[in-house]
Amino acid sequence: MNADDCTIRCTGLRVATTGGREVLHGVDYAVAPGEILALVGESGSGKTTAALAALGHFRTGLTCTGGTIAFHGHTEDHDDLLAAPEVTIRGVRGRLVSYVPQDPALSLNPLLRIGTQVAEVLEAHSYDGDVPERVREVLGDVGLACDETFLNRYPHQLSGGQQQRVGIAAAFANRPDVVVLDEPTTGLDVTTQDLVLDTVRELVTRSRTAALYITHDLAVVAGLADRVAVMQAGEVVETGTVTQVLTAPEHPYTRDLIAAVPDLHRRVDREPVPSGDGAGPPLLRVSGAGKSYGPKTVLDGIDLELWPGECLMLLGESGSGKTTLARGLAGLLDLDSGTLSLNGDPLATPRSYAQLRSVQYVFQSPFASLNPRRTIAGSLEVPLRHLTELDADARRARVLDMLGQVQLDDTFAARYPGGLSGGERQRAAIARALVTAPDVLVCDEVTSALDVSVQAAILDLLALVRSELGTAMLFVTHNIALAREVADRIAVLQGGRIVEQGTVEQVLSDPQHAYTRELLEHTPSMAALR
């Protein structure tokens, strides 16, 4: 790409820690007007650091040691943003170069109304037009209501998808020349994700904005981006059009990333676990489960069965009730109605120690189950101390054995969660749930924030747990693309009701309910490129 053709060009970017360790080793990228460049790579590859440099920003503990970022916008040119004084950089951020974070909670003030927050972005940069009119216009651009009722809402009154679209509206409010999007659909269900991605594509094309899209989801890249830059260990190892990189990758690392992407259209050879009348009685049975919060019914007459060693995928959008059901099964909240039984015995409320041992929960965020002030061994020992009669030596031996089961060596016992990678923390959280040898493991969106290769490793680990320990698994997710990789059967939850159940093959090949078909249609896939 010629220098005259691009809005922003990064050349030879080098970044190091304040201790002198280099984390980016001469990174180059360029983005043209109306183009989306996807920066992809595993956690720790440097993609976020490289993209945030476009805003002249480096995280605490990092410093730029070399390179230039040339900016050629509609109203201003800068030969090197990195050499510009801080006052200039502050004037550029939010006006000429904007940012959409992964978590909208990081960009939305919970104490301010939506209209006020979007208006603030305009007022901070002395917008010379009608601010209220522009606020309504940009909210309409992202598919949101622009009446007074919506403008007066607070962030907590919006869904996750609406919050993210407000963040996108704020980023595009000043009609920037460059926008950096940092995994803005991570954690969103597939239909909401599809809507957000369509919004991004339409805004970028219409406004001729140059977009840097940070992601680990190559299936999203296939349907969104124009070009791809693949990063590994602080270097760009491959760059090209989406079709070139994803269908004919040249670098081994790119090929490994692509191989790790779950795909609905790729067959997975696994021995199914017998279930139903031919497999004996179910291990876990749920009959007529219900839950309400005030006038809102969250669960409405749920019936489910789970057999020994089986993995049942509980699939649904945000707000469908799947996490409420999962927590009810694990005893983390009380259901209003219905019965639960394990091995034919009622699951009481409150539960006995034996029942607590038998059904364990793995949270979406490992920080929810790992105390940051305890060592990994200390966290794993807590349930053993409270739920078993093992002595200290036996508990220690069980902890080390369990770490080995999740492929973490003995050195992890003395480490703290903050010193582990995302994948390592999730393995430790799974070990904590398995340390009491439960009959049922409830996994709540355990891979949603992981990059594809770490996700693949966690799924392999869960398959190993099922085959070697015989643990049954309820896998709660909004990502139907994982179905062939992890599940034997699927239960689809919509509005608090199960609308479809069946084997993975039945549901994916011949979905009976319109909602299931809608989920399948909105699931991103790399198949279109083949």
Q: Do the Cβ atoms of 96 and 176 come closer than 8 Å?
A: yes
Question: For residues 284 and 73, what is the distance between their CA atoms, to the nearest angstrom?
Answer: 61
The pLDDT of residue 1: 60
Segment 188-209 mean pLDDT: 88
The pLDDT of residue 162: 87
Segment 224-243 mean pLDDT: 95
C-alpha 486: how far from its chain's center?
17
Q: Residue 398: enclosing H or E segment and its boundaries?
A: helix 392-405
pLDDT above 60 for 137: yes
Dump strand ranges (E) for 273-402.
284-293, 296-306, 311-315, 337-342, 345-346, 359-362
Residue 3's pLDDT band (cuts 50, 70, 90): low
DSSP class of residue 295? T
Segment 83-97 mean pLDDT: 89
Q: Which range, 54-58, 458-462, 499-503, has the best average confidence (pLDDT)?
A: 499-503
In tens, the pLDDT along 96-132 reads 999 998 777 667 899 999 999 999 999 999 898 999 9
In tens, the pLDDT along 294-325 reads 999 999 999 999 999 999 999 988 788 998 99
The pLDDT of residue 4: 62
Q: Looking at per-residue confidence, does 360 or 450 come out higher?
A: 360
pLDDT above 90 for 94: no
Question: For residues 182 and 175, what is the distance between their CA atoms, to the nearest angstrom?
Answer: 18
The pLDDT of residue 528: 60
The pLDDT of residue 44: 79
pLDDT above 60 for 82: yes
| Residue among 353, 355, 333 at smallest CA distance from 343 | 355
In tens, the pLDDT along 434-454 reads 999 999 999 998 887 777 887
Q: Do the Cβ atoms of 115 and 121 come closer than 8 Å?
A: no
In tens, the pLDDT along 260-295 reads 888 777 666 666 676 776 767 899 999 999 999 999
232 forms beta bridges with 235
Question: For residues 411 and 376, what is the distance between their CA atoms, to the nearest angstrom?
Answer: 10
The pLDDT of residue 374: 94
- pTM equals 0.82
In tens, the pLDDT along 212-229 reads 999 888 888 999 999 999
pLDDT above 80 for 492: yes
In tens, the pLDDT along 145-192 reads 889 999 999 998 887 778 888 999 999 999 999 999 988 887 778 888
Domains of the chain with CATH codes = 3-107+176-259 (3.40.50.300), 368-437 (no CATH)
The pLDDT of residue 269: 67
Other beta carbons less than 10 A from residue 262's beta carbon: 22
CA distances from 452 to 15, 215, 502 (A): 25, 10, 27
Question: For residues 388 and 369, what is the distance between their CA atoms, to the nearest angstrom?
Answer: 19
In tens, the pLDDT along 410-421 reads 999 999 988 887
Question: For residues 313 and 483, what is the distance between their CA atoms, to the nearest angstrom?
Answer: 7
333 forms beta bridges with none
3-class SS string, 162-202: HHHHHHHHHHHCCCCCEEEEECCCCCCCHHHHHHHHHHHHH
Average pLDDT, whole number, for the chain? 89
Q: Give percent of the chain above pLDDT 90.
A: 60
Query: Residue 307 has which token pair?
Result: 């057999």
Residue 251's pLDDT band (cuts 50, 70, 90): very high
**Max CA separation in the chain (angstroms):** 73
The pLDDT of residue 390: 93
pLDDT above 80 for 138: yes
What residue type is assigned to position 118 of the chain? V
